[in-house]
Structure 1
Amino acid sequence: MTEADFLHTTRASYDAIADEYAARFQGELATKPVERAVLASFAECVRADGGGPVADVGCGTGRVTGHLRDLGLDAFGIDLSPRMLAEARRHHPELRFEEGSMLALDLPDGELGGLLAWYSTIHVPDEHLPLAFAEFFRVLAPGGHLLLGFQAGDSVLHLDEAFGRDVVLDFRRRQPERVAELLTAAGLSVRVRTVREIETESAFPETAPQAFVMARKPTVSGGRQDGDTD
């Protein structure tokens, strides 16, 4: 199968900036209390439903994968970029990191108790997003939990330079309602939609609100599902 162009350019771009990215963002989560609270809620939901492996899809340098481990989850990372994965293994040698694409995850059906896509679907073009969500549904176990983080909006930010290096990266801002519709169409039950407003007075200034959507794979397929009422 021919690889989609955006996968090639995204991989090459993050390979080019991996060292600088790791140095810049390694401590970012410590400055984001709302994000930590969202991740803690996700971890609590996964643990409450029996745990199981949790894939951090688009893990980059593994900084959030490590945080999930600290929250008590059996977390591992998947990413397109070999050089980002090298940084992840360097910073978190105790964790497992694998190269792969969210459009074709090398995981068995129903393998995961949880899946995190933390600012990784932002690089996926609209026409490929349903395929990614179908993969998320496939690899989650019944009752498994999904958390997405992304920038909220309706625009696409294109970068052809980052950290002084040439890149080809598109950051797609999406409305939580639209993302929720696509997750529902993929068979997932949306549980939470929330938006945090822009932070400008911080070490990591932003240009868009930040959105978080949590969903769950129903515990049965077809007929009465968890959450149904009489």
Structure 2
Amino acid sequence: MNSEGWLEDTRASYDTVATSYADQVRNLLDQTPYERGALTLFAELVKSGGGGPVADVGCGPGRITAFLSELGVDTFGIDLSPAMIEVARREHPSLRFEIGSMTDLSLADDSMAGLVAWYSLIHVPDDEIGSVFAHFRRVLRPGGPLLLGFHVGSESRLKTQGYGGHPMKVHVHRRRPGQVAAWLSDAGFTVEARTTLSSAESTLGGILFARRRSDPQ
């Protein structure tokens, strides 16, 4: 599975399901108090560090972007799918959303006060994760917090249908928290906290907090 192939498949799949996906997840945070707590803690970490812009990378229809904005965070969303960005702009017209890829973030070095990737790494192949985390580190300020949400496990599967029965072609990767933490450490992050939980977000989900180190080593 080459980089170009999986990116194109992911973009096309989420363009196809954008509206149905948004309908399915719109009120999901109402059912997930522990996830709300993690996002609230992340918002507090950003504000206690002096505030500044926060990127919600892989924002989909913008529900996490909007929640963080309600908590007083200067947040904006980035997503690979133009159709998802269209939905996000329609549902949250006061917020900023732009098309982009986590594999090549069009953000200045050291420009972000924080970064969130909420279940948006699940389609990234293992051999691309290091490059993605390198981009995360590049755009974060030293000491800036990173919050990840992901599916926990050790297997990958091809998803061919979802969100209203629409066709999709994406691999869903489940990963062990220890492996994700090791990748982050290699990329120049210090992992501060991690946990697993079961909720409406994921049968078994992982939440991980990290900070960008000044020295990548």
TM-score by length of 1: 0.90
Identical aligned residues as a percent? 47
Q: Counterpart amino acid of 2:171?
A: D
**Which residue does the alignment assign to 1:67?**
67
Deviates more, 1:36-45 or 1:162-171: 162-171
- Residues 1:23 and 2:23 aligned together: yes
| Cα RMSD, aligned residues only | 1.5
- Residues 1:176 and 2:171 aligned together: no
Q: What pairs with 1:141-156 in structure 2 (closer than 5 Å)?
A: 141-156=141-156
**Which residue does the alignment assign to 1:14?**
14
Greater relative CO, 1 or 2 (CA 8 Å, sep 6+): 2
Contact 2:3–2:128 (Cα < 8 Å) also in 1 = no
**Which residue does the alignment assign to 1:158?**
158
1:221 to partner: Cα distance: 2.9
Q: Counterpart amino acid of 1:212?
A: I
1:143 to partner: Cα distance: 1.3
Aligned length: 215
CA distance in 2, matches of 1:205, 1:84: 18
TM-score by length of 2: 0.95
Give the secondary-structure state (helix, strand or coil) at the position aligned to 2:67: helix
Q: What pairs with 1:6-155 in structure 2 (closer than 5 Å)?
A: 6-155=6-155
Residue-by-residue CA offset, 1:196-223 (whole Å, 9 max, x unaligned): 1x34xxxx484x31101110012x4379
Q: Counterpart amino acid of 2:146?
A: L
Q: Cα–Cα, structure 1 residues 222 and 160, in superposed 2: closer, same or farther, change >3 Å? A: closer
Q: Counterpart amino acid of 1:217?
A: R
Q: Which has the larger radius of gyration?
A: 1
- Residues 1:215 and 2:216 aligned together: no
Give the secondary-structure state (helix, strand or coil) at the position aligned to 2:161: strand
Contact 2:59–2:65 (Cα < 8 Å) also in 1 = yes
Contact 2:32–2:201 (Cα < 8 Å) also in 1 = no
1:157 to partner: Cα distance: 2.9
Give the secondary-structure state (helix, strand or coil) at the position aligned to 1:4: helix
Give the secondary-structure state (helix, strand or coil) at the position aligned to 1:123: coil
**Which residue does the alignment assign to 2:192?**
191
Contact 2:61–2:87 (Cα < 8 Å) also in 1 = yes
1:100 to partner: Cα distance: 0.5
Q: Counterpart amino acid of 1:194?
A: T
CA distance in 2, matches of 1:222, 1:112: 17
Which contiguous aligned blocks of 4+ residues in structure 1 show a shift greater than 6 angstroms? Answer: none
CA distance in 2, matches of 1:205, 1:106: 29
Q: Counterpart amino acid of 2:149?
A: G
Q: Counterpart amino acid of 2:182?
A: E
Q: Cα–Cα, structure 1 residues 60 and 30, in superposed 2: closer, same or farther, change >3 Å? A: same
Q: Cα–Cα, structure 1 residues 20 and 45, in superposed 2: closer, same or farther, change >3 Å? A: same
CA distance in 1, matches of 2:75, 2:216: 29
CA distance in 1, matches of 2:139, 2:17: 30
Q: Counterpart amino acid of 2:32?
A: K
Q: Counterpart amino acid of 2:184?
A: L
**Where do 5+ consecutive residues of structure 2 fail to align?**
none
**Where do 5+ consecutive residues of structure 1 fail to align?**
224-230
